[in-house]
Amino acid sequence: MREKHKLSWSDLGFKTNGKKSKTILSEQNGTIYSGEMMAVLGPSGAGKSTFLDVISKKAKGSPGTIISFNDDPKFDMRELAQYVEQDDALIGVLSVRETIEFAAKLSLPTNITRGELLKRVDVTMKSLGISEIANNRIGTPIQRGISGGQKRRVTIACAVVSHPRILFLDEPTSGLDSQTSQEVMQSIKQLAVEQGIIVLCTIHQPKWEIFQMFDQCLLLASGKTMYQAPTIELINYFDYLGKPCPAYTNPADHAISLVNTDFSNKNPGFDSEKYLTGLSQKWKSYSRNGSGSTAELKDDYTDMKTPRTPAESLFTNKSNSPSTMIMRSRTSDFYNWCYKVTVLCHRSQLNSQRNLLAYTARMAMYIMMGLLIATVWLHLGTSSDKINERLSIHSFGVTFIAFMSVSGIPSFLEERMVYVRERANGLYGPSAFLISSTLITIPFVFVCCSLFLLIVYWAVDLKPGADTWFRFLAYYFLTSFVAECQSVLIAALIPDNVAAISLGSFINGFWMCVQGYFIRTPNLPKFYYYFVHWISFQTYGFVLNTKNDLEDVLFSCTQSSEGQCQCSYPSSLQQKGICALPGEDILEYLEIKDKNKVLFAFAMLIIAVVYRLLFYLVIRMTKK
């Protein structure tokens, strides 16, 4: 037996902010009951998406707007509802089952057993007709996956696996062919009836087979209600208006053609605003007379006594009632937060293992660049005429790592899209996303830097010693981690692949110019020295690696035919008659001899923390 619920709204409206405020929606009133589907129709600019945003509480309505669930206006929408956006946001390397299973883990309570969770996933897939593709991957640009219609069903499955009381759908058939659209809507209709879900759906000119699935229809134009009543009453309303629906014409198409005034300028003297206001007034008069009122519940919120399907049996047991399960899963206690972080880490870890473009290819490039450096700068030795080559290695190594970080932007943007959707549905917050992102980045960066250094270190003949090698690893790791933090911050600010990669490359090139290798630090213009040089993480990486390589190393100098000692840098030992160049003299010339390595490493940590905090603020404010 299933309890009946209702979602009601009165005086729902929306106005834009600013001096020239514009009314997008006005005087919307209505009620929809569990197990029912409402189609929100209207021409472009009618206010369909705005209506869905306001009633789902994604956007704040005008003063006086009242939205209530079972006559309770203070209910928490995120505890009861799921919102399915028009575009799918899925991780391409995951299978269908994995995608829905992760959604279940994030939305269901932590005390649910794995057996119950998997059973819920199986039933959801069966209800949406995607069981046969459970082990198929979603698909990436280089790996073929499931079809567009199947992706739609997976997205919907992720939303309904927690059995929400209310489901909002924004253009669920957008981009799908006629037959696929019908199959998707049939699946949604079945879920609504079986699980008692309230479904509100914006849809663009549905064909008749789809339109008749809806119990109610809301027709909008210029933010006004043109019709809101049972779908089966729409044809009678056309007759009432004196504009009957022609034979063999889809009532949905006829309804939109009546309220679409986009081409009214072709008729001189036609006042579209007056025309739509008149239609709205006619609907108000029609509805006041009770001619098209919404059908009342037969049992007045009593339990329905219809036989339950297997899906209903699963979703309506008393110990794990849907509302209880969702509300328990929204708790903000520390254990629940930690659980969400581990789930996100597991999902990101699978993504990093399988995503050839974002991770495997990047790791391969670290290896190939290491081999390139090892063969070009092979066995430099400790001759003073090779010092500039050594410095170029440290500059190039830091710069290469910085530029490599931007290649991770596409993968981050994919996860960002998923984060925005899941956060909007209340599955987790920005802190969990931040921590999981950081925890996954650290081992990946560590492995890449280790592979790079293992190839370069001995081939180039950098300063020998285990302690020196581990310091190099620490400095390269810090540099790479800060670079990754910078790149994801840029991508969070500019969620576009081309723009984010371009800006990231420009910034890294800018840091490269002022790091202290191409132009000695003392020769930098004052503005760049005081305001840019010291905030460039490449500065710290270059200085740390250079000091680590040159300190306590004695470089041999050449002697001319006249017996004069010739060193590539000024040597303090020449005055003592020793033809050699201490590494400290080179550091003195570069004006980095007195720089404290611990403080410089700490400075890079500070930059990383600042980037992470800014990243947190950005994703916290991110709405779409």
119 and 76 belong to one structural domain = no
570 within domain boundaries: no
Q: Domain total for the chain? A: 3
Same domain, 260 and 352: no
Residue 45: what pLDDT? 82
Is residue 537 within 8 A of residue 486, CB to CB? The reply is yes
- Number of Cβ atoms within 10 Å of the Cβ of 332: 7
pLDDT for 299 equals: 41
Q: Which domain holds residue 130?
A: 93-162
Query: What parts of the chain have a pLDDT lower than 70?
Result: 1-3, 262-270, 290-332, 624
Residues 344 and 406 in one domain: yes
pLDDT at 291: 55
My answer on whether 369 and 228 are in the same domain is no
Q: Are residues 172 and 157 in the same domain?
A: no
Instruction: Indicate the pTM of the whole model.
Output: 0.85
- pLDDT recorded at residue 2: 58
User: DSSP code of 67?
Assistant: E
Domain identity same for 218 and 286: yes
The answer to whether position 588 is within a domain reads: no
Is residue 198 within 8 A of residue 167, CB to CB? The reply is yes
Q: Are residues 495 and 506 in the same domain?
A: yes
Q: Is residue 615 part of a domain?
A: yes
Question: Does 367 fall in a domain?
Answer: yes
Domain boundary among 117, 137, 162: 162
Residue 138 shares a structural domain with residue 207: no
pLDDT value at position 314?
43
Whether 105 maps to a domain, the answer reads: yes
**Tokens read off for 12:** 């729902």
- Are residues 582 and 573 in contact, defined by beta-carbon separation less than 8 angstroms? yes
145 with 226, same domain? no
Domain match, 186 and 174 both: yes
Do 74 and 98 share a domain, yes or no? no
Let me know: does 249 contact 234? Beta carbons within 8 Å. Answer: no
- For 304, 319, 388, the CA distances from 34, given in Å and listed in that order, are 11, 21, 75
Residues 439 and 457 in one domain: yes
Cβ(79)–Cβ(426) below 8 Å = yes
Query: Does residue 510 contact residue 528 with C-beta atoms inside 8 Å?
Result: no
- Say if 218 falls within a structural domain: yes
- Which residues is 30 bridged to in the sheet? 9
The helix/strand/coil state of 528 is: helix
State residue 446's pLDDT score.
Answer: 95
The pLDDT tens digits of the residues spanning 525-548 come to 989 988 899 999 999 999 999 999
Does the residue 272 lie in any domain? yes
Last residue of some domain: 121, 143, 162?
162
The single-letter code of the amino acid at 600 is F
The span from the CA of 149 to the CA of 163, in Å, is: 21
**Which of 162, 183, 206 is the endpoint of a domain?**
162
